[in-house]
Chains A and B, each alone.
Chain A
């Protein structure tokens, strides 16, 4: 039996549509490759000169052609982990509240409000951070913390200015919370109702239900979310640059200034004077690219394992 044939114009149209959409998808893939290539190419000069010693070198002196990312890696790590340790529990708690406890009308208002916190541009949060948050921290929060838990070297003597890794970590916390909150709320919404009701029917209190049912079923999803949030925090440039104070030393106290990879990049790129400095800044960009791709892939991998586990269950 002969298949009904499309008119020739239709067949050409189908082909055109298929190739246009395919081409667009190829462009997206190409874009990612091109970004990586361009960033690595840009960092070539610095890589030839410093090699992997760049990662541990702690001097960054444009006048002496000395560049190293050690201090910046330290600052990036400290502020990112600090933000994650605060933002992950708070964000997950918000997700639990919105998914389990909030009445529908409250949920309909607070959910979008929390998500809109993520929509506020980082430059505005950073500006607020340096003019409102940092002075408050120096005057009230930091002395308080210093006098109570000052024996931990992290909480040293407050500095005068307010620009500090502590402020940067808090600003990043504020930026990561809405991400963790909205994804974890969606995760909790996927936990089957029968499981929740079964736990309640067995006499579990709400907390026991959360600990025994909600958290275990979503654990890997929550871990993936946290890595996504961490990736966001590690790559944030503008807000951090505004509040961290562009320090050049590794300090144990969070109240001292510091700097991160992204922040140094935002701070110096426009004013880079020679090729080596630009190239070193590109090197920082390459490190950020690896961190960004890495945290994302890790989150994807954990998320996929989660999906597989669910399929088996």
Chain B
């Protein structure tokens, strides 16, 4: 505006701004606004670049330092005897697999049942209450769940892998239940009505029609919960970490080795040789977790594509 009046003031005839062939360029106040906008936009790009860079640096460190450690022996052998070189994390891998598998076996059916209750049976008030409870469970620090499992199952007895599975299942439960709820909500109401119109009971319509069509979303949620539980360290540190010498796989009677606690112990010790093994274990864990997350996402994308078709 200001430029135009000033040009008009000292110009005879038409100001040069009105030349129709001249490209449109912001000037004055508008230019300042564009500069401000570009500045903030580039901050947003910068923030995103920062997060991606952190991700890349962490992954690159784990891969470059852990990659040289990984070998067949490392993945399958028992840890080295005190002071010896070599040895692996075979038992820890098996232990984590077992603990997470049992946790899933506890949390998955329970989570699906909760989701079925809230989406098919519950009154709106009960639904929002249970949703709140699940959110609160999800928001509890994992170490609090660890000391809960300790107080319930370990105090007065001894550490056990089962207590670890129990604690992990509490962490997985809200994740699976919420994912299942969302997946059940995606089931078109037409399906429910069609089942009702056929005159079948609720049990048949729920178990025969509604649950199967929500299954891929439920599986995705479970896979993501497994990825989360596999790396959870704090509860296992409290209920399944003292396994020196006791390498029996006595699931209910003793702690069993597992990858997260192994990494934690090696990282807390001052022995650089231990660090190497910790990087190796970290790489194994990261590969497992990223692979399961990607698998879960792919499954989710496929089921979404199917649903929209």
Contact = CB atoms under 8 A, between A and B. Distances in A.
Answer whether A and B are interacting partners. Answer: yes
Interface stretch (A49-57, A143-151, A190-198, A291-299): A291-299
A13 B234 contact: no
Nearest to B39: A207
Given A120-B289, A127-B263, A208-B37, A28 B134 contact: yes
Nearest to A239: B233
B142 interface: yes
A294 B253 CA distance: 36
Contacts of A293: 136, 139-140
B53 to A, nearest CB: 11
B112 to A, nearest CB: 8
A17 B237 contact: no
Given A120-B289, A270-B238, A293-B136, A114 B52 contact: yes
A34 B148 contact: yes
Given A119-B289, A132-B61, A24 B278 contact: no
A293 B202 CA distance: 36
Contact of B151 (A13, A23, A39, A205): A39
Contacts of A235: 140-144
A93 B228 contact: no
Contacts, number: 259
A281 interface: yes
B159 to A, nearest CB: 9
A120 B238 contact: no
B148 A295 contact: no
Between A21, A23, A281, the greatest number of chain B beta carbons within 10 A of the residue's beta carbon is seen for: A21
B177 interface: yes
A252 to B, nearest CB: 27
Size category, B interface: 35 or more
A292 B263 contact: no
Contact of A94 (B47, B139, B238, B285): B47
A21 B113 contact: yes
Contacts of A181: 51
A296 B201 contact: no
Interface stretch (A59-67, A96-104, A152-160): A96-104
A124 B263 contact: yes
A238 B289 contact: no
A309 interface: no
A31 interface: yes
Given A119-B289, A205-B34, A21 B116 contact: yes
A29 B130 contact: yes
B286 interface: yes
A237 B121 contact: no
Interface in B281-297: 282, 285-286, 289-290, 293, 297
A28 B114 contact: yes
Interface in A263-295: 265-266, 269-270, 281-282, 285, 288-289, 292-293, 295
Given A207-B41, A231-B139, A238-B234, A113 B52 contact: yes
B268 to A, nearest CB: 7
Contacts of A141: none
Interface stretch (B4-12, B17-25, B75-83, B203-211): B203-211
Size category, A interface: 35 or more
Contact of B233 (A6, A238, A282): A238
A10 B48 CA distance: 55
B136 A121 contact: no
Q: Which 10 pairs, one residue from A and one from B, show the smallest C-beta to C-beta distance? A: A121-B231, A235-B141, A24-B113, A21-B117, A10-B201, A296-B139, A93-B47, A205-B37, A207-B37, A13-B203
Given A25-B122, A120-B58, A205-B36, 17 more contacts: A14-B201, A24-B114, A25-B118, A34-B148, A38-B148, A42-B155, A113-B52, A119-B289, A120-B289, A121-B233, A177-B51, A205-B33, A206-B40, A206-B41, A231-B139, A242-B267, A266-B237
17 contacts: A17-B206, A25-B118, A28-B174, A31-B173, A35-B144, A39-B147, A123-B231, A123-B260, A124-B263, A132-B57, A207-B37, A238-B143, A242-B264, A270-B241, A288-B143, A295-B139, A300-B132
Interface of B: 33-34, 36-37, 39-41, 43-48, 50-52, 54-55, 57-58, 61-62, 109-110, 113-114, 116-118, 120-122, 126, 129-130, 132-137, 139-148, 150-152, 155, 170, 173-174, 177, 199-204, 206-207, 227-228, 230-234, 237-238, 241-242, 260, 263-264, 267-268, 275, 278-279, 282, 285-286, 289-290, 293, 297
